[in-house]
Chain A
Amino acid sequence: MDLSYTPEEEEFRARLREWLAKVLPTLPAKPPPDDWPGRRAYDLGWQRMLYDAGYADVHWDASPTTRLIFLEETEKAGAPYVGAGFVGLLHAGPTIAAEGTDGQRARWLPPILRGEEVWCQGFSEPGAGSDLAALRTRAWRDGDDYVVSGSKIWTSHAEVADWCELLVRTDPTAPKHRGISWLAMPMDADGITVRPLRTLAGSAEFADVFLDEVRVPVGNRVGAENDGWRVTMVTLSFERGTAFVGEVVACRRVLGELARAARENGRWDDPVLRRRLGRLEAEFRALWRLTQWNVSEAEASGGVPGAGGSVFKLRYSHARQELYDTAADVLGPGALDLDRPWVLDRLSALSYTIAAGTSQIQRTIVAERILGLPKGR
């Protein structure tokens, strides 16, 4: 058991810190949350800066520990989040790198790294949420094209994306996990309609995407036909190990801000609230240790994240909600004012126990895959 870093890792951290201190003051102001074209330009600009400084491929090529340090330091320094580049850098890119042909890698990977193209994720459908494999969007062959019809939902930044990693059903007669294929769909193709979807936080975070006989070249298929489910599992596994590093660091910062705010407004004198903050501090310390543990495990196993990801996700998504509920106690009546800090975060935290596999699905995964309990109802 060792929590110290190697000299090389410490050097990476020091260089990164130095670079962040130099470049962050030069960044323009962050665009408002609903200004997607503005956010696209801002996030891609940041990615380009990372590229020029040699940090662009940290999500792909660096060791898990180096990635942990990168995410920790960028969050601590208040650097922009990966934002509009998320799907390209953390989902589609790694999938194409692992499963694509040389030609596909050459076509799609460099623009992701250089911050030139944005990807969105066309996985979920109205009838296929937690049961993703139940998706029904159809694709049939017509010459050198697939013709795609159906609809997708919860597609983040679809209106500013250049590409969509799309899951389609290419064999409706096969068992549901078998007849699926993974396509790269250009978002400017004919037949695509994007309708922004307003969330309970008031923002247009997601979109509905309607597909009406959209033609996608067969050459845009990554992996074999009907092998898309396995390809997708490769994608999702990238999310587990270090996906929440920046968020845990951010939550710990928020906790410190809550303590300061509580001291300023006098709520610190309430021992119940104070102890609740103390317990949250224990919680987020442990979540940070769990991250380090999972990263060490991934490193030992050659980069493959273990089942610890589900354990982390379950605990973290509830802790995050508890954090912002406690923020509301610190704010008092201010908790009802959308202009106050933390109020929107409280609303958006509601999605954490639902997105990327609900807590109920995660518990079933933990019980069946880690504890070996029998499958059933």
Chain B
Amino acid sequence: MRFQLSEDQRALQAGVRELLERRFGREALRAAVDTPGRLDRELWRALGDAGFFALRLPEADGGVGLGLPEAVLAFEEAGRALLPGPLVATHLAAGTVPGAATGETVVAAVYGELVEWLEAADVVLGDTGDTGGTGNTADTGNAADTGDTRGAEPLRSLDPLTPLHRVPAARDAAAAAPLADLLTAAEQLGTAVRVGELAVQHARTREQFGQPIGAFQAVKHLCADLLVRTETARVAVYAAAVTADPADIAAARLLADEAAVHGARDCLQVHGGMGFTWEADVHLHLKRAWVRAHRGGGSTESEELLAARLAA
């Protein structure tokens, strides 16, 4: 048992982080906030070129040939960078929807009642968006079903970086979409990591009463709790990527949602009044964490799945 990142995985993590810092740094992030609803196609293709979408496709099919753990590390970095766009849906469509793997085609998916990036998408997939079971090879069967977006109504999205539509909820209850849940959990983990960094950075530098606020126990303990939630979510997400067990994925989703949402709120608190302004990035992380927490069934289904496992 070597439940740690391998050298290759560390290199991949560093590579994705470096790519995102170069292609989607703070300036690009704030520019995106100022042009809501616009998906940067050039960035999307750059992600495609880097193998972000084709990460789990076999090399024979033009993919990178890596596994779920690597995908999870890449999505953690995407979450950390607050990268906008229907990343999960496009990644899961790679190999089944032409152009998705290379970033030529933007693929969105209907998750329950919500669709992210409907207008920017070239293709909208049906409810689960899950095309590959739990393995690496994509099922080329009926996955490219066009999502039913009849009656979609735009929302004035809470998250300036994620346009949302709501569709009538009449169809089947959301089918289990473990892979989408796992990748969402990985993005949430990235958010938790990032807001932790922001909180600690601020606590170290912001002075009040003649010393850094991080010297005050109340602030210290906020930061410590943030880290504890993040690290607990991290091992749950990584383990679920290794086992691909639906119960492990449900657990990962619960803990990662908690780590991201609660962490972003604590980060905002550490920032004090500055955290309540539009200029600070904290609110963007919190809003995205809220959007992701609503993706798919949300916490109820994960809790019920785990409870059912217990009683089995």
- Residues of A at the B interface (CB closer than 8 Å) are 1-6, 9, 65, 255-256, 258-260, 263, 268, 271, 274-279, 281-283, 285-287, 289-290, 292-293, 295-297, 299-300, 308, 311, 314-315, 360, 362-364, 366-368, 370-377
Contact = CB atoms under 8 A, between A and B. Distances in A.
Interface in B213-251: 214-217, 219-221, 223-225, 227-228, 231-233, 235-236, 238-239, 241-243, 247-248, 250-251
A278 B310 contact: yes
B221 A296 contact: no
Given A285-B236, A308-B231, A376-B217, 15 more contacts: A1-B3, A3-B3, A271-B304, A277-B306, A277-B307, A278-B304, A278-B306, A281-B247, A283-B255, A286-B251, A295-B3, A296-B4, A315-B232, A363-B220, A367-B221
Given A300-B4, A373-B215, A293 B306 contact: no
Nearest to B229: A315
Contacts of B254: 279, 282
Nearest to B305: A278
A1 B238 contact: yes
Contacts of B302: 278, 282
21 contacts: A1-B5, A2-B1, A2-B242, A4-B1, A268-B311, A274-B303, A278-B304, A282-B251, A283-B251, A285-B236, A286-B232, A289-B238, A363-B220, A363-B221, A363-B224, A364-B217, A364-B220, A373-B214, A374-B215, A376-B214, A377-B217
A268 B307 CA distance: 9
Interface string B179-215: 0000000000000000000001001100000011011
B243 A293 contact: no
A286 B203 contact: no
Contacts of A277: 306-307, 310
Contacts of B243: 3
A104 B177 CA distance: 60
Chain B's interface size range is 35 or more
B250 A282 contact: yes
Contact of A274 (B1, B225, B252, B304): B304
A356 B5 CA distance: 30
Contacts of A308: 231
A372 B204 contact: yes
B228 A285 contact: no
A264 to B, nearest CB: 11
A275 B304 contact: yes
Nearest to B4: A296
A59 to B, nearest CB: 19
Nearest to A65: B1
Q: Which 9 A-B pairs have the closest CB atoms?
A: A376-B215, A278-B303, A278-B307, A282-B251, A367-B220, A373-B214, A278-B306, A363-B224, A366-B224
B150 interface: no
A282 B301 CA distance: 12
A235 B37 CA distance: 58
B69 A1 contact: yes
A278 B216 CA distance: 36
B204 A293 contact: no
B171 interface: no
Contacts of A293: 3-4, 235, 238
Contacts of B211: 374, 376
Contacts of B140: none
B33 to A, nearest CB: 28
A259 B227 CA distance: 31
A268 B225 CA distance: 31
B156 interface: no
Interface in B151-167: none
